[in-house]
Structure 1
Amino acid sequence: MDNELISIIVPVYNVEKYIAKCLDSLVNQTYLNIEILLIDDGSTDKSLSICKKYAAVDSRIKLFSKENGGVSSARNLGLLHVQGEYVVFVDSDDFVSPKYCEHLYQLTISTKSELASVSRYNILNKEVVKISDLSFNQITSDEALRKFFLGEGINCYLFSKIFKYETIKGLRFDESLESAEDVLFIYQTLKNINFASMDGTVADYFYILREGSLTNKRLTSSRIDSSIRVAEFITRDCNSNKKLKMLSEINEISLKGEVLEWISLNSELRIEFEEYYNIILREVRKFKLLHKVQYLTLKKFIRLILLKVSPRLVTILKNK
């Protein structure tokens, strides 16, 4: 089954405590025909030297070093060096099961999909939580976009997915974005594919929630701007498709709602980003839900209603 090459892109930056476990999980894949593209993004700790040791003993590992430019520039460099028919992204502070590539490859082949996804485990300290997404076989690009906008399995995360390289070879991550670059990349990919699939019963990716990781970076005005720019761009891009436009508007207000949730986390952020908070809250409260009910899942509908009442309440309920 492992006759087609899978390229695994791993951006690396100051992860000396985690990178060995990540690389051990990759070199021990049951699917053998892989290349591991390590992109060191100007690490200042021992990450690069650890990567060199692994590259010296496994010819499937290709190591590239560059000046620090952020995760998007690292992934873009990786995309330039892809030799495989399929591409997988792995964060250097996470790890995967031995059958990660095998499961993803078999899923994309069996469903004839250009993008396939599995579930994951979230790990916070010693607590391990399985995230079980909905399963579906072959669905069209439009249906995949619908699920993406409504959060029904096709999420914005790069991990836990396999991409047919032919569908993404012309895409690059927007290096001007400090956040939501993955949202934009997945959206653009879904526009390019014919079919997508998801096996929510399988969880092969172990996502480490840690202080200092990309998703836990301190909130800044540029991160807020990036998220809003992406949300508004997608809505404009869907303008010619009536159904997708409705869904993209829901997606936009949901992403803006996430910004409200970020700011709601503590009183200091609320003071620092009060202007952003008030502007976005007014948009959320003006957003008309009733004529979009047919496009909403119950969960999404309840979340948007609660956001209108209190973004902090949504944050509290999510963390329970």
Structure 2
Amino acid sequence: MTNNPLISVIVPVYNVERYLNKCLQSIIHQSYDNLEIILIDDGSTDNSGKIIDEYGKRDSRIKIVHQENGGLSKARNAGLNMMRGDYVTFIDSDDFVTLDYVSYLFRLIENTRFQAKLSLCSLMNHYSRTNKDINCGNGLEKVISGKKCIEMMCYHDLVDTCAYAKLAKRELYDTVRFPNGKLFEDIGTTYQLFLQCDKVACGFKAKYYYNIRSNSIVTSKFSESKLELLEMTDQMAGEVKDIYPELSNSVLRRQVYARFSTLNQTLDTPNVSHIQQRLIKFIQGHKRNVLNDPKTPKRDHVAYALLSLGLPFYKIGWHLYEKLKGIK
């Protein structure tokens, strides 16, 4: 495959020794072999750094950086700053991908005669505690506009905010970097890629296995730093509305969803009633607009109905949903 362009695979690594071998094996055995594999050790205190050093000795495509811990954004940005590939994809080091992950994403772009600068695939959500997999795709392939991708992303309609499970022309990142020191950095950057794209090559087949574990950023216990999801979402909403005012309903739905998501994480946390009240005020303040939007997902209607019964009933409903989905 030497005639194919060089593709950079950027993998931030931090204290994931339990999952790292599976991730790296899925990368080095890709059917698309013209890869530059950049492993950024973000100050790991377990054996992750040693593991990637061993892989680096065995595969000349691997480049390794060891840096002081600075967070996921800083690690991804370090990879972007040193990459040489014509295209770039991100893989988190506790996840893994199918062996045709890169070739599939590249083929999607190739099929547009390279008019699309960005392609994406769907996730397979893997719940590590229950070993349950949930396919987030529908198997279809289509080319849609970046604007449409933003709309679908806001409604959780096949398109995800994640930085991974996408292949981007390197020029899309010329003016885009992940916000250092922030959680939920994906929601603050992915829309910026879509804004630059007239066409996005979408393949809604699950090629990326997203490992949902109990101590990840998303599922770990609530802290006030998780309110950064609201900051990132509101930033996205403001910029999108400035460019596409007709997407106001879409981004509002995403803003309300961000409050519901944050509220869910506070349900078992003591002494956060002031935060919960603020979240509920925003949610209820936009209830009419969200529920009158025909594109609003059914789950939002259920969430509003439960919340109308009071927070204790909402908490019971949410924990039942988690149990049914295999989250807990």
TM over 0.5: yes
Deviation of the 1:77 alpha carbon: 0.3
- For residues 132-170 of structure 1, give each alpha carbon's deviation from its aligned partner in whole angstroms, at most 9, with x where no partner exists: 324451111211111111111111122222112111232
Normalising by structure 2, we get a TM-score of: 0.88
Equivalent AA in structure 2 for residue 14 of structure 1? N
Equivalent AA in structure 2 for residue 228 of structure 1? L
Q: Is the 8 A contact 2:40 2:66 kept in 1?
A: yes
Q: Is the 8 A contact 1:40 1:65 kept in 2?
A: yes
Normalising by structure 1, we get a TM-score of: 0.90
Seen in structure 2, the aligned counterparts of structure 1 residues 121 and 239 have a Cα distance that, compared at 3 Å, is: closer
Deviation of the 1:129 alpha carbon: 1.2
Aligned to 1:274: 273
SS at match of 1:182: coil
Q: Is the 8 A contact 1:284 1:308 kept in 2?
A: no
Q: Is the 8 A contact 2:70 2:181 kept in 1?
A: no
Q: Is the 8 A contact 1:40 1:48 kept in 2?
A: yes
- Is it true that 1:238 corresponds to 2:234 in the alignment? no
- For residues 177-223 of structure 1, give each alpha carbon's deviation from its aligned partner in whole angstroms, at most 9, with x where no partner exists: 1x2211111111111122123222x2222222223223223321122
SS at match of 1:170: coil
- Is it true that 1:287 corresponds to 2:286 in the alignment? yes
SS at match of 2:57: helix
Aligned to 1:173: 178
- TM alignment of 1:164-203, pairs within 5 A: 164-177=169-182, 179-200=183-204, 202-203=205-206
Quick one: distance in 2 between partners of 1:30 and 1:273?
A: 49
Equivalent AA in structure 1 for residue 190 of structure 2? I
Quick one: distance in 1 between partners of 2:42 and 2:277?
A: 37
Seen in structure 2, the aligned counterparts of structure 1 residues 319 and 92 have a Cα distance that, compared at 3 Å, is: same
Equivalent AA in structure 1 for residue 210 of structure 2? Y
SS at match of 1:18: helix
Aligned to 2:65: 64
Aligned to 1:158: 163
Aligned to 2:225: 222
Q: Is the 8 A contact 1:254 1:304 kept in 2?
A: no
Equivalent AA in structure 2 for residue 272 of structure 1? N
Q: Is the 8 A contact 1:306 1:314 kept in 2?
A: no
Seen in structure 2, the aligned counterparts of structure 1 residues 120 and 247 have a Cα distance that, compared at 3 Å, is: closer
Which of the residues 95, 119, 122 maps onto 2:122?
119
Equivalent AA in structure 1 for residue 206 of structure 2? A
Quick one: distance in 2 between partners of 1:184 and 1:306?
A: 30
Aligned to 1:148: 153
Deviation of the 1:72 alpha carbon: 0.9
Query: What residue ranges of structure 2 are gaps of 5+ in the alignment?
Result: none
Seen in structure 2, the aligned counterparts of structure 1 residues 300 and 243 have a Cα distance that, compared at 3 Å, is: farther
| Identity of matched residues, % | 28
Quick one: distance in 1 between partners of 2:302 and 2:259?
A: 12
Equivalent AA in structure 1 for residue 35 of structure 2? I
Deviation of the 1:319 alpha carbon: 3.9
Seen in structure 2, the aligned counterparts of structure 1 residues 212 and 57 have a Cα distance that, compared at 3 Å, is: same
Q: Is the 8 A contact 2:249 2:289 kept in 1?
A: no
Q: Is the 8 A contact 1:41 1:66 kept in 2?
A: yes
Seen in structure 2, the aligned counterparts of structure 1 residues 236 and 47 have a Cα distance that, compared at 3 Å, is: same
Q: Is the 8 A contact 2:290 2:296 kept in 1?
A: no
SS at match of 2:157: coil
Q: CA RMSD in A?
A: 2.1
Query: What residue ranges of structure 1 are gaps of 5+ in the alignment?
Result: none
Q: Is the 8 A contact 1:247 1:295 kept in 2?
A: no
Seen in structure 2, the aligned counterparts of structure 1 residues 227 and 35 have a Cα distance that, compared at 3 Å, is: same
Equivalent AA in structure 2 for residue 143 of structure 1? K
Deviation of the 1:292 alpha carbon: 6.7
Seen in structure 2, the aligned counterparts of structure 1 residues 146 and 295 have a Cα distance that, compared at 3 Å, is: farther
Seen in structure 2, the aligned counterparts of structure 1 residues 182 and 93 have a Cα distance that, compared at 3 Å, is: same
Equivalent AA in structure 2 for residue 223 of structure 1? K
Aligned to 1:305: 304
Q: Is the 8 A contact 2:30 2:99 kept in 1?
A: yes
Q: Kindly tell me the number of residue pairs found equivalent between the two proteins.
A: 313
- Is it true that 1:204 corresponds to 2:207 in the alignment? yes
Q: Is the 8 A contact 1:10 1:91 kept in 2?
A: yes
Quick one: distance in 2 between partners of 1:292 and 1:17?
A: 43
Q: Is the 8 A contact 2:40 2:78 kept in 1?
A: yes
Seen in structure 2, the aligned counterparts of structure 1 residues 235 and 292 have a Cα distance that, compared at 3 Å, is: farther
Q: Is the 8 A contact 2:253 2:290 kept in 1?
A: no
Q: Is the 8 A contact 1:285 1:308 kept in 2?
A: no
Q: Is the 8 A contact 1:121 1:128 kept in 2?
A: no
Larger deviation: 231-240 or 92-101?
231-240
